[in-house]
Amino acid sequence: MQSEAGPALPAPRRGEIWTANLGDPPVRHWVLVVSLDPRNQSDRAQSVLIVPFSSGIAEAPTTLVLPPGETGLPGPSCLRGHFVTTLQKQLLVERLPRSLSAARMRQVCLAVRRAFDPDAPWPAREPSQ
């Protein structure tokens, strides 16, 4: 018997790549979870912050181009920090086996920051070794 609360919501972790249903009508799309884990893992939080992947490569201050070997996606992809949004956890479908590194996540956060902060540094510095 299902509880009144319904099925358990996914509990993603920061840096994980998921497929999710985006839009109306919903279309399956790859997304990167960027919200902090206390929110992601909380049973009380119904949503997470995500940045969707795009196969349309565009180099700009708010974008980050990633090779397929790093993401596990079929080809090069682009994260557009200016498209950061909330997503209901129930729309997350499946976690991919790869996650982005902490250094790469710092770059993603900087791309998101450049979308709203005119004082954010650009060009992005390479992650520290």
Range of the domain at 94: 16-114
Domain-embedded: residue 42: yes
Q: Which residues touch 113 (CB under 8 Å, ≥6 apart)?
A: 81, 120
Total of domains in the chain: 1
pLDDT tens track of the chain, all 129 residues? 444 556 788 899 999 999 999 999 999 999 999 999 999 999 999 999 999 999 998 889 999 999 999 999 999 999 999 999 999 999 999 999 999 999 999 999 999 999 999 888 876 455 554
Domain-embedded: residue 46: yes
Domain-embedded: residue 120: no
Domain-embedded: residue 28: yes
Domain-embedded: residue 98: yes
CATH code of the domain in which 58 resides: 2.30.30.110
Domain-embedded: residue 126: no
Q: Give the whole-angstrom CA distance, residue 26 versus residue 91.
A: 9
Query: Cα(first)–Cα(last) distance of the chain, in Å?
Result: 52
pTM for the structure as a whole: 0.87
Domain-embedded: residue 10: no
CA dihedral 79, 81, 82, 88 (to 10 degrees): 80
